[in-house]
Structure 1
Amino acid sequence: MPLSPVSLLPLLSAASAATASASSHMPLRWDQLGLSPIAWDFGFFALRWYSLAYLAGILVGYWHLSRMIRQPGAPMAQRHADDLFFYATLGIILGGRLGYATFYAPELWTHPSEMIKLWQGGMSFHGGLIGTVCAIAFVCWRNRLSFIRVCDYIAPCAPIGLFFGRCANFMNGELWGRVTTADVPWAMVFPGAGPNPRHPSQLYEALLEGVLLATVLITLFWKTRARWRPGLLMGTFATGYALSRFIVEFYREPDAQLEDFALRTGLSMGQWLTLPMLAIGLALLVRALVRPPLGATALPPIVDPED
């Protein structure tokens, strides 16, 4: 999925600084990279990277979904994609915020005025996923569509939003990684995280959950007949995300209020939440692979997106 060169400039700047510091073994400092949570400040209004990330993820995902459903055998029409665009947006925002309050910050439930301050961050992927699944289920129920096949078409679009979201986390200087040594060339000192260098785990997630997972799913859709096996793309997404998140959590600092929970249980909250997702993903993969593909006797040819 092509990205605007402008949108990559902050990340390229960080990468160049990392290379320059490798020889001296001095850790990078986030506050010296020219990064800021605010993309543009108009004086009366500040446009944040966090907001732009959500907007970019939803719009690019909608564009890609619209291309996908023009291929033979799509389980929905453009009007259904339009409905999904609206309801999934609500599901992502409401589910993400409510999930964060439930899993990571229960005190928000007693302070409703703080709950609505989305611009301050605090969104849960797993909560957003639940909200999105509910939105998809509603659209499918109302239009009598196949829930699994619609999810298969949504799955390749989801990592696009994850990529933008994790990049925004990095631009915000939040959700940093665990303490490491300055010998790691890309080790970074984040504001508010103390003087020790840390893993930029936001970028690890952007690469694994975003770039790698998107590459796998988009390739499966356009270059193979995966979409003719109901549940295969959805299962690949669930399994791939769960494994990526589980691995990155070893390098990501647990939320301050959940450090004791991680020490007591041996796993972070993020890792515990990925386990049900991993089980569901594997079950979907097995189900998709043991059943015959749709239209096995007369599959239409694959249409290259560039034709």
Structure 2
Amino acid sequence: MLALPFPTIDPVLVQIGPLSIRWYALAYIAGLVLGWLLGRRLVAMPRLWGGTSPMKPQDLDDALFWATLGVILGGRIGYVLFYNLPHFAAHPADIIAVWKGGMSFHGGLTGTIVALVLFARARGIRILSLLDVAGVVAPLGLLFGRIANFINSELWGRPADVPWAVVFPNGGGVPRHPSQLYEAGLEGILLFVIMLAAVRMGALKRPGLAAGLFGMGYGCGRIVGEFFREPDVQLGYLAFGTTMGMWLSVPVVLAGASLAAFALTRKRAS
């Protein structure tokens, strides 16, 4: 059976004594920093908002800190609750052991939304407009995160006989779908192109539209990706061959569609 060998990439980029810099951490940093830079550029262009930007580029400097907390805390709490609650209930000290792995995007998404809503209320910024900025830049973080998953040889796909199947070091010696790269393409590259096209077509002039489009795009891309991704071993397949990732993505799609529909009923900024 044809299969591609896993590329020789050390998950640790630099090791200095007990301190190690991992690709996974750099992926989080790259996603947040590039998202922050793009967000500043968006809010510095009043024409994208119908003549007046709802916030200043400096506002995003502080929003970055809030979003980082939301991603980390929400991602970890989401993993604990949705993916391995029995283990953490029996070993509560492991909850803070984030270096052992275990983050949930859906939890991180929820945490980021809560953090940005609180930040917007504190600053007097229109909440939906801030969420729109986050929706446009979020695919960058997803792209880097999925590539880091591939480098870490984690969250690999189901057994496959396609010519591009990969034999992961800890995947049981079986050729598998490189589902991390599928998701990087769907949730990262494709969704980012869609979001930029939406901005170009005036989506930011309707508060909530870009955020809604992101919810629909991510949710659909994640559901498609789950058909190729091996489910978490402690959960396995759920009812009708579904996975936890699919079920968690359904409300994201529905919420995104509802938000986009609401935004389209509002008056468009001229």
1:205 corresponding residue in structure 2: 183
1:1-307 equivalences under 5 Å are: 26-30=2-6, 33-72=7-46, 73-106=52-85, 107-181=87-161, 184-221=162-199, 223-259=200-236, 262-295=237-270
Cα contact 1:84–1:139 (8 A) shared by 2: yes
> CA offset at residue 123 of structure 1?
0.5
Let me know the Cα RMSD of the aligned residues.
Answer: 1.4
Give me the whole-angstrom Cα distance separating, in 1, the residues matched to 2:17 and 2:151. 20
Question: Could you list the runs of 5+ residues in structure 1 that have no partner in the other structure?
Answer: 1-24, 296-307
| One-letter code aligned to 1:77 | K
Give me the whole-angstrom Cα distance separating, in 2, the residues matched to 1:203 and 1:268. 19
Cα contact 1:50–1:121 (8 A) shared by 2: no
> CA offset at residue 292 of structure 1?
2.5
Give me the whole-angstrom Cα distance separating, in 2, the residues matched to 1:90 and 1:263. 31
| One-letter code aligned to 1:29 | P
Identity of aligned residues (%): 45
| One-letter code aligned to 2:252 | M
Give me the whole-angstrom Cα distance separating, in 1, the residues matched to 2:267 and 2:169. 54
Give me the whole-angstrom Cα distance separating, in 2, the residues matched to 1:83 and 1:112. 32
CA offsets 1:99-122 (integer angstroms, 9 cap, x no match): 001100112244233222222221
Give me the whole-angstrom Cα distance separating, in 2, the residues matched to 1:123 and 1:142. 28
Give me the whole-angstrom Cα distance separating, in 2, the residues matched to 1:290 and 1:113. 48
> CA offset at residue 265 of structure 1?
4.5
| One-letter code aligned to 1:40 | V
| One-letter code aligned to 2:70 | G
Question: Could you list the runs of 5+ residues in structure 2 that have no partner in the other structure?
Answer: 47-51
Cα contact 1:51–1:119 (8 A) shared by 2: no
> CA offset at residue 74 of structure 1?
2.0
> CA offset at residue 180 of structure 1?
1.0
TM-score norm. by structure 1 comes to: 0.83
> CA offset at residue 34 of structure 1?
1.1
Cα contact 2:212–2:256 (8 A) shared by 1: yes
CA offsets 1:36-84 (integer angstroms, 9 cap, x no match): 2111223432211111001111111111111111111322123321221
Between the two proteins, the alignment pairs up a number of residues equal to: 264
Larger CA Rg, structure 1 vs 2: 1
Give me the whole-angstrom Cα distance separating, in 2, the residues matched to 1:277 and 1:119. 28
TM-aligned CA distance change 1:286 to 1:166, over 3 Å: same
CA offsets 1:148-197 (integer angstroms, 9 cap, x no match): 1111111111000000100000000000000111xx12101112221221
What secondary structure, in the 3-state scheme, does the structure 2 residue paired with 1:256 have?
Answer: coil
Cα contact 1:229–1:289 (8 A) shared by 2: yes
TM-aligned CA distance change 1:263 to 1:143, over 3 Å: closer
CA offsets 1:252-284 (integer angstroms, 9 cap, x no match): 00000111xx24353100000011111111112
Give me the whole-angstrom Cα distance separating, in 1, the residues matched to 2:35 and 2:220. 22
